[in-house]
Amino acid sequence: MPNYRRNRVSGGTYFFTATLRDRRSTLLVDHIEQLRNTVRRVRAGAPFEIDAWVVLPDHMHCVWTLPPDDDDFPSRWRAIKKAFVKTLPSTELRSPVMEKRGERGIWQRRYWEHTIRDDSDFAAHVDYTHFNPVKHGFVEHPGDWPYSSFHRCVAEGRYPDDWRGGSTDAEFDAGERS
């Protein structure tokens, strides 16, 4: 097993990709209100700023900024994943090992994390997040996807309503399969 270490920076800004185990699933959008409520509850106990977020049927991307003197995004992700799964009926197939461990098998075990380095890195990852529904062919315009912070960003004046992509072609790994 590789010696994997996450880069934890107090008050840091991070890009994440969290993916369902079943990539054909539509579970995240089918249960969007449960997911939203779960994130609200976790943020109430362990605050973080949501800079960008998009939820697709089988995965989601987000950019968070943690409070100063706080670098604990792993416990937030653990809480979100665990609490969301508890809102769902137990209908998925599980291996005997998963059953023994009490695992539901909804999420991929890990998530992709990238520490944002500077303003251009931030802009590229926020744009990537908001353009993702277009990239995957769900919509033709980011504003047509309902499960995105793009709408909030337009209301705040961070994007024009007709934005069609900025640095969305940036060459970086976002934790997605090609």
Ordered DSSP codes for 114-171? EE--SHHHHHHHHHHHHHHHHHTTS-SSGGG-SSBTHHHHHHTTSS-TT---SSTT--
> Which residues 6+ apart lie within 8 Å of 130 measured at CB?
52, 54, 142, 148, 149, 150, 153, 159, 163
Q: Which two tokens stand for residue 153?
A: 């960003």
Catalytic residue set: 147
Closest CA to 132 of 120, 115, 123, 145: 145
Name the residue type at position 163: W
Rounded-to-integer distance, Cα 35 and Cα 54, Å: 12
What Å distances lie between residue 137 and 13, 49, 82, 123, 125, CA to CA? 28, 28, 29, 22, 19
